[in-house]
Amino acid sequence: MYIDEIVVGQSATLERAVTQEVINSFADASGDHNPVHVDPAFAAGTMFKTTIAHGMLSAAYISAVLGTQLPGPGAIYMAQSLKFRAPVRPGDKVVTICTVKEIVREKKRVVLDTVCKVGDTVVLEGEATMLVQPKPKQA
């Protein structure tokens, strides 16, 4: 999308099932093999009682929405704030919602509220700033 096509309040969503296999693949891709993520025996002794997904896995779902849907291909990530609110466990379905909060056309910026939920529980929230080009002028 071009910045000219985006409106405040516009949103896009993505749903992803989180499995232990997804968590393990993320651990391999990121290099973060913290046992709270990948070792069920270790995780059983923690406050979570089971393995939990990396917080950045949920953040990656935000990136997927921004890069493929809204604003979509060609948009450039400039900033992202993240607040981790609750754990994501194997078997959870994460619903990611990105909603346009502000458009700064003169700077080609779009600011979006970013939220990940499991059921009614917010597991991650934040704000993203994207660089989005205007529609090219036709000759």
H/E segment holding residue 58:
helix 55-68
Alpha-carbon gap, residue 52 to 39, rounded angstroms: 10
Q: Is the pLDDT of residue 139 over 80?
A: no
The CATH code of the domain at 3-131 is 3.10.129.10
Model pTM score? 0.94
Of the CA atoms within 13 Å of residue 28, those in its CB half-sphere come to: 6
**Tell me: the pLDDT tens digits for 65-119?**
999 999 999 999 999 999 999 999 999 999 999 999 999 999 999 999 999 999 9
Give the start-to-end residue ranges of the domains of the chain: 3-131
